[in-house]
């Protein structure tokens, strides 16, 4: 099997590559050619989460699993809170093919999903990007969003305001004016990305104007929550995968509250394949519940492996 360490990933997979790979696998899911296995996700105590996301992509020829989780104490040791590794197997024989560092790939594939939702669902004339969250993933989200719309400015809120400077520096790099705002001012945003580890809603229904597109990316576990359930009640809701959206995604709360039915949620892949028209009017609120599916991980890891093989990088080991 080939080992592709974390340190090689930046040179192997770009944000554009991740966008193409995730869009292709969402489309394969929509066509029924790829599916995710049930997620295993366990609370280890003190906020630590660990689990396995896996799936089979018949079209892309990928079988595998991402093992990893969220360890909130890591930042104090100078390492990121999200830790993961992707394992790929031959879908015909079950033999291990590769072990790939999953840190940067997770950030790239998560930002890609969010950007695909913005590309497909936000108004074409979206000019103001609202960011809720300023942790490790937020910078990737900001960069990816800026690739798909001509934003003129960024407004941002974070529970820990001291973290906003780093996000402001990324906006500056992109040439975008950046302002830290109270949540009430999110009504100015045309697109809002939420990417926090919050256990309770920060963004409320009244903070969101008609016509906004939301990419809710932080809630990937039972018990996490970023937005008020009423918002999902009045929005057109899209998801990477409906089963994950209602069990571990943002929709878990709106479904439990009786404000949203699972049958009203549309897979984003259906918009990509043209089975669903996407946004229907300029006043509609569209909301993407991005829970993060195993197939996204396999798609970007497979790309890293292909490139590593082409360039003779990584280490081959016998298992
Ligand atoms: P991080 O630890 O670097 O940052 C955490 C962020 O959440 C910060 O902005 C912090 O201020 C904020 N926060 C913490 N407690 C909060 C609270 N009580 N209320 C509101 N905000 C709070 O984490 P990260 O790596 O940036 O990840 C952010 C979230 O995204 C995590 O929940 C992570 O599990 C999730 N995530 C989702 C996917 C996906 O595919 N959907 C992928 C990766 C990470």
224 is catalytic: no
Q: Is 117 in the pocket of ligand 1 (CB under 6 A)?
A: no
The pTM assigned to this predicted structure is 0.97
How far CA 237 is from CA of 46, 200, 261, 287, in Å, comes to 32, 19, 10, 5
Where does the pLDDT of residue 200 fall: very low under 50, low under 70, confident under 90, or very high at 90 and above?
very high
User: What is the mean predicted confidence (pLDDT) over 217-234?
Assistant: 96
Q: Is 81 in the pocket of ligand 1 (CB under 6 A)?
A: yes
Contact criterion met (CB below 8 Å) for 191 and 129: yes
CA of 185 to the centre of ligand 1 (A): 21
Q: Is 314 in the pocket of ligand 1 (CB under 6 A)?
A: no
Which of 289, 300, 16, 303 has its CA nearest to residue 147? 16
Contact criterion met (CB below 8 Å) for 286 and 236: yes
Radius of gyration of the chain (CA): 19
Q: Is the ipTM value over 0.95, yes or no?
A: yes
The span from the CA of 164 to the CA of 212, in Å, is 22
CA of 71 to the centre of ligand 1 (A): 11
pLDDT for 60 equals 87
Where does the pLDDT of residue 75 fall: very low under 50, low under 70, confident under 90, or very high at 90 and above?
confident
Domains of the chain, start order: 2-106+295-316 (3.30.1780.10), 116-293 (3.40.50.720)
């Amino acid at each position: 099997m080939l080992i592709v360490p974390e340190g090689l990933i930046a040179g192997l997979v770009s944000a554009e590559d991740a966008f193409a790979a995730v869009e292709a696998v969402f489309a394969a899911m929509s066509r029924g050619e790829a599916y995710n296995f049930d997620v295993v996700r366990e609370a280890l105590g003190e906020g630590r989460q660990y689990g396995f996301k896996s799936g089979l992509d018949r079209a892309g020829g990928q079988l595998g699993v991402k093992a990893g989780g969220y360890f909130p104490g890591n930042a104090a040791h100078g390492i990121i809170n999200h830790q993961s590794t992707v394992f790929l197997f031959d879908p015909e024989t079950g033999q291990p093919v590769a072990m790939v560092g999953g840190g940067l790939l997770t950030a790239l594939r998560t930002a890609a999903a969010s950007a695909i939702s913005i590309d497909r669902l936000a108004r074409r004339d979206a000019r103001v990007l609202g960011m809720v969250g300023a942790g490790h993933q937020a910078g990737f989200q900001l960069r990816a969003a800026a690739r798909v719309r001509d934003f003129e400015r960024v407004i941002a809120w974070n529970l820990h305001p001291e973290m906003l400077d780093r996000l402001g520096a990324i906006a500056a790099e992109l040439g975008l004016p950046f302002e830290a705002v109270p949540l009430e001012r999110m009504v100015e945003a045309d697109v809002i990305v939420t990417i926090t580890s919050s256990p309770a809603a920060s963004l409320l229904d009244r903070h969101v104007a008609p016509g906004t597109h939301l990419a809710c990316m932080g809630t990937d576990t039972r018990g996490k929550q970023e937005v008020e359930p009423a918002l999902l009640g009045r929005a057109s809701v899209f998801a990477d995968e409906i089963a994950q959206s209602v069990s571990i995604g943002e929709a878990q709360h709106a479904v439990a509250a009786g404000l949203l039915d699972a049958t009203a949620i549309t897979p984003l892949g259906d918009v990509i394949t043209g089975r669903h028209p996407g946004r229907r009017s300029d006043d509609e609120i569209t909301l993407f519940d991005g829970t993060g599916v195993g197939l996204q991980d396999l798609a970007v890891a497979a790309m890293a492996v292909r490139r590593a093989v082409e360039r003779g990088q990584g280490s081959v080991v016998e298992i």
